Amino acid sequence: MDSFLVYAAACLLAALWYAAWFRRHSRPRSAPLPPGPIGLPLVGSLPFLEPDLHSYFARLARAHGPIFSLRLGAKLAVVVTSPSLAREVLKDQDAAFANRDVPAAARVITYGGGTEIVWNPNGPVWRMLRRACVREMLCPAGLDAIYDLRRREVRAMVRSLRARAGSPVDVGAEMFLAMMNVITSTLWGGTLEDGEERSVVGKEFQELVAEITELLGRPNVSDFFPGLARFDLHGIQKQMHVLLERFDRIFESIIERRRRKLEEGGGKKQGGDDFLEFMLRLETEGGDGKTPFTMTNVKALLMDMVVGGTETTSNTMEWTLAEMMQKPDVMKRAKEELDHVVGKDGIVEESHVPKLPYLGLVIKEVLRLHPALPLLVPHCPSSTRVVGAYTVPEGSRVFVNVWAIQRDPAIWKDPLEFRPERFADADRWDFSGKDFSYFPFGSGRRICAGIAMAERTVMYMVASLLHSFDWELPKGTTLELEEKFGIVMKKARPLVAIPTPRLASADHYC
């Protein structure tokens, strides 16, 4: 009986919303809504959504055009699938589209929303938080200052793989753990002095991040009918609260240690601060003089870095090795470049990365075919706008299908072919987001803040994997490149491969 009443209430609320929506959008207007599938009463196109949303949207674009709309319950979604329209949204009208339509699950895991970078609306708080992250941690000088931390974790990864030489390795899981250790070392590297402690915390974070991203990608009635969010009919917010509490306990423990260290030092900067110490000082000082900075901001930014910086980069590394194993000539050329620059009697250092142009082309091609966020993070206009001669209403959810744009045969020759050489004579295709044929990290003011760190770390780790080991599939298995849509682009099936040491001296694996 209770479930029937909840269902009846949901239908009534949906019917009222649909009537209001229809009256509002059926009025004459200078520019119509983008075309798209009609959908069903109340639920719209929800019953027809497919799991691989990026490819489903690409097919709808072929039927309805490069900008189309579809109703998802009480939400209007607008999908953009062309460079010119992406430019309108992300550059020409950047300020209007720089806000977010925050999912209910994301609001929970970010300590209520409005406290971190990814989901925060465009405004003074977001600008202060992003400025703090870029200036203190993600700028070139900040990355140079913590190179020893990255090197320590990369060498630990190489040692771990050397110990399992000849045995199958889940490449994605190994890259995730390595990247998790890089991120946590960057955030509070001096705290986890004991290797076993780092491993335990890293493993717990791995499990937590996997659960969080799974919940963020799960369909939730609270997002399609916001009026029902308070009922949490799918229980997703409740599950996310449990995960938040587990993360919060870890953060509280780490923050308390840092506070004691600062108190022992009299609150004065001792040199070599990590990002957590910087944030705690900023919190003690109350912000930047204009915008407050609270303990909630500290925790939410730690969450941003841990969740946002792990799966995206580890998946890119897994895709890179998989594509190169599929193309042995590409693998061979990359290894020849490494042997020429590093030598078989050397160890890959991050300083070698700028001298590896071909490997750089490989990474660009991987990100063309497999952008970490195939639909970016959805945008939300703060006022009703016109894009491509169509009205995009205030509050709608706008998807930019960068995955489809970067596979468009009108732009790319043989777009499904993995061919790094296509970037050899194309300096304009970088990660700056200025060319809307290729922008895997987004564009405009909401472009990914961690591009520099991601580029350095992915190049450094992949170069170490290729230089230190040969890779082959276990006998009786085949290499598959199917995708699985989610918050980040994953391989549908994990890459399992066998590493074989290729360097003569055991010292090179220390």
User: Could you tell me how many residues make up the chain?
Assistant: 510
Cα angle, residue 173 at apex, residues 167 and 174 outer, rounded to 5°: 60
CB-CB contact of 357 with 426 (8 Å):
no
Residue 56: Cβ-neighbour burial (10 angstroms; 0-12, 13-18, 19+) = middle
- Give the Cα separation of 90 and 387 in Å (integer): 11
Q: Would you list the DSSP string of 40-77?
A: BTTTBTGGG--SSHHHHHHHHHHHH-SEEEEEETTEEE
Residue positions forming the annotated binding site for heme: 448
| 484, two tokens | 């699985």
CB-CB contact of 468 with 508 (8 Å):
yes
Residue positions forming the annotated binding site: 448
Please state, in angstroms and as integers, the Cα–Cα distance from residue 449 to each residue in 127, 129, 132, 439, 453, following that order.
Answer: 11, 11, 11, 14, 9
Cα angle, residue 138 at apex, residues 359 and 250 outer, rounded to 5°: 110
CA atoms within 13 A on the CB side of 24: 11
Q: Scanning the structure block, which residue is given the tokens 């490069």?
A: 66
CB-CB contact of 362 with 311 (8 Å):
no
- Give the Cα separation of 294 and 116 in Å (integer): 11
Mark residue 343 as left, alpha or beta (left: phi above 0; alpha: psi -120 to 50; beta: remaining): left
